[in-house]
Every structure is written in structure tokens, then in C-alpha cells.
Amino acid sequence: MKVIFDHQIFEDQRYGGISRYFVELARELNLLPGCQAAVAAASHFNEYLRTSGLPGFHNYSAARFRGAARLRAAANRWTAPALARLLGAEIVHATYFRPAARRSGRPLVLTVYDMIHEVFPGTDDFTAGMKHRAVAAADHVICISHQTRSDLIRLLGVPESKTSVTHLSHSIPVLHAASSSSFDKAQRPYLLYVGFRFGYKNFEGFLRAFAASSRLRQEFDVMCFGGGPFTPPELALANTLGLRDGQLRHAAGDDVALARAYTEAHAFVYPSAYEGFGIPPLEAMARGCAVICSHSSSIPEVVGSAAELFDPNDRESMLHALEAVCFDPSRRALLRTAGLQRQAMFSWRRCAEETARIYSRLTS
């Protein structure tokens, strides 16, 4: 069985969770008996694909000049059908939601990552419209959680028989003793937040809950990894809430630096109001970091009983969870142990095996 992943996400993302998912999936599919996975991206600038060694036809371009994205898109649009034929595709798996031509009767598979645009109308209506049309055109839709599948069926009226669930995993590296720290150990212990901080991610709610506890403010900093530098409104909010200069810290870097951030954190906080899956809690658990997170959407599906849960819309609920973990060493130790066990249930091999079974049903 020959599976071709199309170019879409690889021409859009230099780094990112979706492109990493497809690289990890393709790598594992190629280790399964009777399965071959290749990528058809005539022009891309994705770093994961560049270093993956995956078969197919994919040409890395470092071009960043104005208009480079349009040139990549045009090259891929014109070459995609020919590459699918050349690579002998039996299944075409679209990596994002732009229109995909039917490829001579080959089954078309689509992955839906979340229903954020539908749950929060106005977030990105253009992407929502593309997603609706892509779902309608696909022969089968893979959802990355049962929550996403339920939302897809409820909000778009997709037949349940047209959908399946395959959970994701994480790619956080194992740290070696020689790995150097990116953080100054002379600084105070910190609670870690990872990723973007806008809107439904509920970073403001977390910061307000943190600042509401004089003991948390006295003993801990807040470390944000990734997501871009702090904005003036974020810094103004921290000042209004009484956080000291430097108490709200920012870091960025590669996967090793992120792994170090998890390892050195007092706890990891994930306050999002909605997620299609939620990889950061898995990353934190894999690095032995206690997880404190929202009980909304797909997040409990990922963390099970291996995290301290709270209502993301209730500041008192969040504050109670933060204090219950931060000031109780036995609770933190219990969560670390449970988290290590829980994250082992999710692997890219399992994701590939479940995905391959979906492909087989479509071609049988």
C-alpha cells in the first residue's frame, strides 16, 4: 500500500505541530510491513521534512523573499497531480484544507485537528470554510481525539461512519547528562507555560489566578516558552497584577531547550479552554513534570487521571489546583509518576498502526 502525503502543510510551516505529525506518521508507516509512505512537495521550507530522509519528491527551498510563498504554492499546485501518479499513490492523504482535486479515483483522506474555528466563530472564518469543503470532498476523515470527532459530527453533520480517531504522540527528546541548561538555576522556581497565549489559550486567566495567591507570587515565577515575546498589554497586565520585574519570564529554543524547561519546572500549567488534542501535557509528563491543566474539551482524554484538573472559566478552581500541586510535594511526586505511565500509552507507532488500518479499509 503506497500512501502519498501532499505538500500543503510543508509549504506553510517551517516548524509546527501539524507538519511534525505528518513526518512522524510517515516515518512510522514506512516501518510497517506492506506500507510505503512518501511526500509530494515540489517546493517546501519545512525543517522537519528537510532532515527526515523520507522518500518521495520534496525539494527544500530556503527562499524568504516577498512572494516566495506564492511561488511555492504555484509550483506545488501545478505538480501535485503528476507527482501523485509518478509516486504510484494508492491513497492520498491531504495535510491541510485547501482544495484537493480528486486523483483518478484514489481515496482521499483528511485529518481534522480541532474545531476551534467553529467553536469560537469569527476566529478564522476563511479557514473554517476551507475545512468544511475539504471534509465534504474527503473519502474519510481522521480526527486526533474523540472530542474533535464528536464536535465534527455535531457541528458539520458528518456521518460517523466517515470518521475515525487516531491519537497523536510527542517528540520531546530524552535529555542526557551532558545537556546544558538554558536557564539560570540561581533564579527562582517557576511554573511553565508553553506556546501561544492568545484568546482561548487562556493565558490571561492563568496569570490572574497565579497573581491572586500571595504565596505563589512570593515563591514562584512564571516561565513562558515559545509563543513570541510578551506584548505590551501582557506586560501591562503583569504590572497591574503586582508581579515584580522579571517575574514573568520568556524563553525560546529548540526541542532540547524545551525538554530542559519541562525538566526544571516546578509544574506545567495548561489553562486552555479548548484543544483538539494537547501535545504539551504529554511532553511535560514524559519529562517528569507535574501537570496542572484545564478539564475542558480533549484535554482529559489525553491526561486521564495523571494531572490536577481545573475549570478554565473559574479562577478559584484554577487557583486551588495551582496551590494544591505547588505546595504539596507528595502530590507532585504522585503526578510525576502517573504522568510517566500515562504518556507511555501514546506513541507514533500506535498512531501509524491505527492509520494504516484506516487506509487498508479504504483500499480493500
Residue 242 binned pLDDT confidence (cut-offs 50, 70, 90) = very high
Q: Are residues 301 and 168 in contact, defined by beta-carbon separation less than 8 angstroms? A: no
Measure the N-to-C terminal CA separation of the chain; round to a whole number of Å.
10
Bridge partners, residue 113, by sequence = none
> What's the whole-number mean pLDDT along residues 148-155?
98
C-alpha cell at 257: 531547550
Q: What is the mean pLDDT of residues 229-256?
A: 96
**Do 127 and 272 belong together in one domain?**
no
CA proximity to 4, closest of 43, 48, 41, 37 = 37
Would you say how long the chain is, in residues? 364
Q: Are 142 and 206 within one domain? A: no
Mean pLDDT calculated for residue range 279-303: 98
* Residue 177 binned pLDDT confidence (cut-offs 50, 70, 90): low
Indicate the pLDDT class of residue 124, thresholds 50, 70 and 90.
confident
Can you tell me the distance from the alpha carbon of 30 to that of 36, in angstroms, rounded to the nearest whole number? Answer: 5
* CA-based nearest residue to 238, from 295, 279, 230, 77: 230
pLDDT (0 to 100) of residue 275: 97
**What is the distance between the alpha carbons of residues 254 and 360, in angstroms, rounded to a whole number?**
36
Query: What span, in angstroms and rounded, lies between the C-alpha atoms of 357 and 364?
Result: 10
Q: What is the pLDDT of residue 298?
A: 97
Residue 282 domain boundaries: 190-343
Confidence of residue 76 (pLDDT cuts 50, 70, 90): very high
Per-residue pLDDT, 66: 79
- Assess whether pLDDT exceeds 60 at residue 321: yes
Indicate whether 54 belongs to any domain: yes
CA-nearest of 76, 164, 47, 182 to 112 is 164
208-221 pLDDT, tens digit each? 999 999 999 999 99
Instruction: Note whether 201 and 158 are same-domain residues.
Output: no
On the question of pLDDT at 259 being above 90, the answer is yes
Q: Residue 51 belongs to a domain with what CATH number?
A: 3.40.50.2000
**353 and 331 in one domain?**
no
CA distances from 302 to 192, 254, 318 (A): 19, 24, 19
Residues 203 and 351 in one domain: no
Q: Do 98 and 146 have their domain in common?
A: yes
177 in a structural domain: no
pLDDT over 90 percentage in the chain? 85
DSSP state of 225: E
Q: Is the pLDDT of residue 184 over 80?
A: no
Considering the domain architecture, whether residues 45 and 157 belong to the same structural domain is answered as yes
In the numeric block, which cell numbers belong to residue 217? 507570587
DSSP per position, 307-333:
SEEE-TT-HHHHHHHHHHHHT-HHHHH
Is 266 part of a structural domain of the chain? yes
What is d(CA 147, CA 173) in angstroms, rounded to the nearest whole number?
A: 28
pLDDT for res 185? 56
Q: Which pLDDT score, from 0 to 100, does residue 274 have?
A: 96
207 in a structural domain: yes
| Residue 17 shares a structural domain with residue 158 | yes
235 and 333 housed in the same domain: yes
Assess whether pLDDT exceeds 90 at residue 100.
Answer: no
On the question of pLDDT at 226 being above 90, the answer is yes
Which pLDDT score, from 0 to 100, does residue 281 have? 98
The reply to whether 179 falls in a domain is no
Residues 336, 290, single domain; the answer is: yes
- Percent of the chain whose pLDDT exceeds 70: 95
pLDDT score for 65: 80
Average pLDDT over residues 47-53: 96
The C-alpha cell 517528540 sits at 171
Mean pLDDT, range 165-179, rounded to an integer = 86
Which residues, 6+ apart, have CB-to-CB distance to 353 below 8 Å?
Answer: 32
The amino acid sitting at 86 is L
Confidence (pLDDT) at 179: 54
Mean pLDDT of 158-180: 88
pLDDT at 182 over 70: no
Contact 267, 291 (CB under 8 A): yes
For 314, residues 6+ apart whose C-beta sits below 8 A from its C-beta are none
Question: Is there a single domain that holds both residue 16 and residue 141?
Answer: yes
Is residue 149 located within the same domain as residue 200?
no
In a domain, 181, yes or no: no
Domain assignment present for residue 329? The answer is yes
pLDDT number for residue 181: 54
| pLDDT the model gives residue 121 | 82
Q: Taking the model in full, what pTM does it have?
A: 0.93
Interval 188-207 mean pLDDT: 97
β-strands 36-44, 56-60 pairing: parallel
Domains: count for the chain = 2
274 vs 63, more confident: 274
What integer pLDDT is reported at residue 183 of this predicted model?
60
Tell me the three cell numbers of residue 283.
511532553
Instruction: Establish if 180 belongs to a structural domain.
Output: no
Average pLDDT over all residues of the chain: 94
pLDDT higher than threshold 70 for residue 104: no
Grid cell 532540547 in the structure block, residue:
256
pLDDT of residue 175: 85
- Single out the residue of 222, 343, 351 nearest to residue 287, CA to CA: 343
